[in-house]
Amino acid sequence: MSTAMPTLGFAGIGLMGLPMCHRLLAAGYSLTVWNRSAHKCAELVAAGARLAESPAALCRDSDVVMLCLADTAVVREVVFAEQGVACGAKPGQLLVDLSSLEPGATREMAAALAARCGMAWLDAPVSGGTAGAQAGTLAIMVGGEAADLARVRAVLLTLGQRVTHMGGVGAGQVTKACNQMIVACNALVIAEAVALAERSGVDASLIAQALAGGFADSRPLQILAPQMAQSQYSPVKWHVRTLLKDLDTAVKLSREQGSATPITGLAAQLMRLHGGQGHLQDDPATLVELFRTRP
């Protein structure tokens, strides 16, 4: 890849991928996009992106192929299925996976991709939600070779305010699992607190304001507590199913490493209960309903 701005391919135009791509276009990157539902790319094509007919085609004119997909199974399919990235990749190209996946599967796929076509892999999951994707303030935690990260650090800094190299391939995904443990457990206890305040006759809409600046303050508190107090569940900014998937990843990882994560295990059970009540596609602000309905 030359010292000029790299050409980019991007697969996965969802809640996070769409604003990321807009930022890349605004920064002047040449961008080709692909999504299973092609109509979701129309907005980006209108803004100057090119549309690829397959993941393999993303590699045709791209130095770097970026993924922002739902889970491990989807990434595996997009990379290795017929007309997947591996079918079009060449040595010297770089795959940057912004998705949140299982660390072990990430290492296995990275090794398989390198052996098959010589394409290197960075796992670079992000934190900050759709607001962070829109503002370019995401936290990005990266696993892979330092030299590969150096090639795309400027690209990632278009998307985030902080890019941290955590170690070899898979280290970014381990760090994201730790991030999601904290986020999900925080979201659940915020829901408990809002429901308790309501049952106690306290105006729960003031909780975030009252606790701002104290030890209990956090970005999730300032975002979720007002939404929970007002039962404001749309527009959906992230999904319960995403938190559940990441909690399951964290619990699996903890078992593999022999590490105790009882709080995360309980959080996964509560998240699964809430999702099973029809909330998998809903915003995590709906978690307050899990505690409002309890006697």
Residues involved in catalysis: 176
Q: How far apart are the first and last CA of the chain?
A: 61
Burial of 194 (0-12, 13-18, 19+ CB in 10 A): buried
Residue type, 248: D
Q: Under 8 Å CB-to-CB from 19, ≥6 apart: which residues? A: 130, 133, 134
| Nearest of 171, 173, 154 to residue 75 by alpha carbon | 173
Per the rule left: phi > 0, alpha: psi between -120 and 50, beta: everything else, 29 is beta
Tokens standing for 75?
Answer: 């990434």
Beta pairing partners, 138 = 160
DSSP 8-state code for residue 277: I
Tokens 């912004």 found at: 98
Contact status, residue 139 vs residue 127, Cβ threshold 8 Å? yes
